[in-house]
Structure 1
Amino acid sequence: MSFTLFPDTRAALAADALTGLSVGDALGAQYFVPGIRPGVLPDPPWPWTDDTEEACCLLGALTASDDAELDRDRFADLLGRHFDPYRGYGPGAVVMLRQIREGTPWPLAAAAAFDGQGSAGNGAAMRAAPLGAWHADSLAHAAVQGARAAEVTHAHPEGIAGGVAVTVAAAVAAAARLDGRPVDLLGAVVAHTPHSRVRDGLVLATRIHDAGEAAYELGTGTRAMAQDSVPFALWVAAHHLTDYPRAITACIAAGGDVDTTAAMAGGVVAAHTGVDGIPAEWISAREPLPEWVAASLER
């Protein structure tokens, strides 16, 4: 990559990714409501879930500092301060974030999760797209920062690998938007994702060309694990990188953990298309983002 990103550009790219992530999350979540079927656009408003809340905290931590390194203490503080357990957090996340809110250092809280194994869930991945867009000028640095951000809540290697993969994917997507070059999104992500079941799924994804086969072979997040959601979400992003509505529709049609796969795919695709690629009526239907996020972008 041969371009330099200034702070305002980084923030704008990350904000686009956050919009794509939050709209995908909010729309996808509607299909858990009884009576709403794929192919039918639900009535607004569309409330967002924990995917968006954590992504807002990540962007808030990024905009609070001009440093190239994510301030993980700041990020953990925002997660603990802003989390709302009624936004769809899993039980393990609720326990961990309450511990952080009450003063437990985040490395201890993350390491203690799941009887000391650490979380292998997709939480680090679902929030990661703004971080990748922020670091679009260096895939290697994006990968490092993706791991650092994941470690705040995910001590398991699979959870970390999922965060790295989505971070790199968003960096690739934003970089392609800036320099106009063709992109092998899955190939680039595989090259920067640590050896893991997540990476194995991404390698398999490079050989799949049919959406139904991708959902069947890669998983759609029904176990809420990084390895059964990240490869499919990034397959969708890679195959619909210039078409945000088709990407989100593909996640909805596949079923599973729809809000999370749509958040991941939507954040990556919007890093490439910008907000102009997202239907304006979808953005209007999404519940407004917290005021403190907008304030952080204005600094």
Structure 2
Amino acid sequence: MSYESRATASIIGLAVGDAFGSQFLLPGDHPAILGRRTPPGPWSWSDDTEMACSVYSVLDRYGRIDQDALAASFAGHMDPDRGYGSGVERRLLRLRAGEHWRDVAAQGGGSWGNGGAMRVAPLGAWLADDLGVVIDQAARSAEITHAHPDGIAGAVAVALAAALASTRLELGPAGLLDEVLRHLPAGEVRQRVRLARDLPGDTDVRDAAGRLGNGREVSALDTVPLSLWLAAWHLDAYADALWQAVRVAEDVDTVCAITGGIIAARTGSAAIPADWRAATEPFPGWADVR
């Protein structure tokens, strides 16, 4: 696939994962999940997809992350009804009021939430031919709202996974996570991804979530490792990965968005169930996803 088609497949996988996950209020082994009964449509996506559309749109316009343009897009297109976290919503409202994103993002040491990670898989797919560029641009995309080192590292990890999944088709689950680790900066996120690398694929997903986190804390540390583990062990099985995610994830739309964005970067959008795509809300016209 070309870089544009990789990125388009990734953002479709992200949006469908986000919208699918949003149909499940709580994780668990209840009959609807164990029986894999697809929820009735239509499915709306959340802030995960809205912000990913800004990343995609800025890449389409500039071929890179122009941070001022991305900050303006985040602030200008924010719909509070999409489920934004209170901290990010406050930051974006301050940008709308005229404050500079650097001043806002740096306060309090920056956010370590999972918001930088949830929206970045299409960037990894778009820039996948140069991992150094992926790392740099993923960090730049994250620091507008999530300037804490963990928030940035989570975004870098997801972007690397999407880049590798889309271009290194020979990599199996352990190999993909090894490559992510090889390029990931030192820190707590890397340590938790290392733990994910060492969990076998036949580990019960409930045990994996207990060890890696399930998004309850809405942090990069608590969300990204499980998402990468699910994606790595389901590289060609989009629906299976998301059904596993909804069994355990508490920030379920975000775990599904990250996981779906990585897998679709590899498989293309044809691997996404057709009825899931049909149920998912269309992209906004301003994003120009094509």
Displacement of 1:226 in angstroms is 0.3
Q: 1:25: which partner in 2?
A: 18
Per-residue CA deviation, residues 133-170 of structure 1 (Å, 9 max, x unaligned), is: 01111122211111111111111110010010001000
| Aligned match for 1:107, one of 99, 102, 106 | 102
| Aligned match for 1:73, one of 68, 83, 96 | 68
Looking at structure 2, the residues matched to 155 and 12 of structure 1 have their Cα atoms a distance apart, in angstroms, of 29
Looking at structure 2, the residues matched to 104 and 167 of structure 1 have their Cα atoms a distance apart, in angstroms, of 28
Looking at structure 2, the residues matched to 102 and 189 of structure 1 have their Cα atoms a distance apart, in angstroms, of 38
Q: 2:192: which partner in 1?
A: 201
The size of the alignment, in residue pairs, is 281
2:177 corresponds to which letter in structure 1?
Answer: L
Q: 1:51: which partner in 2?
A: 48
| Aligned match for 2:8, one of 7, 15, 22 | 15
Greater Cα shift, 191-200 or 12-21: 191-200
Displacement of 1:254 in angstroms is 1.5
> Matched residue of 2:24: which SS?
helix
Looking at structure 2, the residues matched to 122 and 62 of structure 1 have their Cα atoms a distance apart, in angstroms, of 21
The answer to whether the 8 Å contact 1:24/1:248 transfers is yes
1:242 corresponds to which letter in structure 2?
Answer: D
> Matched residue of 2:22: which SS?
helix
Per-residue CA deviation, residues 10-66 of structure 1 (Å, 9 max, x unaligned), is: 222111100000000000011018999423311100100000000001001100114
Looking at structure 2, the residues matched to 37 and 256 of structure 1 have their Cα atoms a distance apart, in angstroms, of 16
| Aligned match for 1:245, one of 217, 239, 243 | 239
Per-residue CA deviation, residues 75-121 of structure 1 (Å, 9 max, x unaligned), is: 11110000111101111011001111222111111112xxx121000
The answer to whether the 8 Å contact 2:112/2:148 transfers is yes
What is the 5 A alignment of 1:271-282? 271-282=265-276
Per-residue CA deviation, residues 159-190 of structure 1 (Å, 9 max, x unaligned), is: 010010001000001112xxx42342111111
Q: 1:182: which partner in 2?
A: 171
Q: 2:221: which partner in 1?
A: 227
The answer to whether the 8 Å contact 2:26/2:250 transfers is no
The answer to whether the 8 Å contact 1:30/1:36 transfers is no
Q: 2:150: which partner in 1?
A: 158
Relative contact order, higher structure (CA 8 A, sep 6+): 2
1:226 corresponds to which letter in structure 2?
Answer: A
Looking at structure 2, the residues matched to 140 and 185 of structure 1 have their Cα atoms a distance apart, in angstroms, of 16
Structure 1 alignment gaps of length 5 or more: none
Report the RMSD for the aligned CA atoms in angstroms: 1.7
Identity %: 44
The answer to whether the 8 Å contact 2:111/2:148 transfers is yes
1:40 corresponds to which letter in structure 2?
Answer: R
Q: 2:115: which partner in 1?
A: 123
Looking at structure 1, the residues matched to 144 and 32 of structure 2 have their Cα atoms a distance apart, in angstroms, of 36
TM-score by length of 2: 0.93
| Aligned match for 1:257, one of 251, 258, 264 | 251
Looking at structure 2, the residues matched to 158 and 246 of structure 1 have their Cα atoms a distance apart, in angstroms, of 28
The answer to whether the 8 Å contact 1:201/1:227 transfers is yes
Looking at structure 1, the residues matched to 51 and 180 of structure 2 have their Cα atoms a distance apart, in angstroms, of 22
Specify whether residues 206 and 33 from structure 1 end up closer, same or farther in structure 2 by C-alpha distance, changes over 3 A only: closer
> Matched residue of 1:229: which SS?
helix
Looking at structure 1, the residues matched to 192 and 19 of structure 2 have their Cα atoms a distance apart, in angstroms, of 26
Looking at structure 2, the residues matched to 246 and 166 of structure 1 have their Cα atoms a distance apart, in angstroms, of 19
Displacement of 1:246 in angstroms is 0.8
The answer to whether the 8 Å contact 1:36/1:42 transfers is no
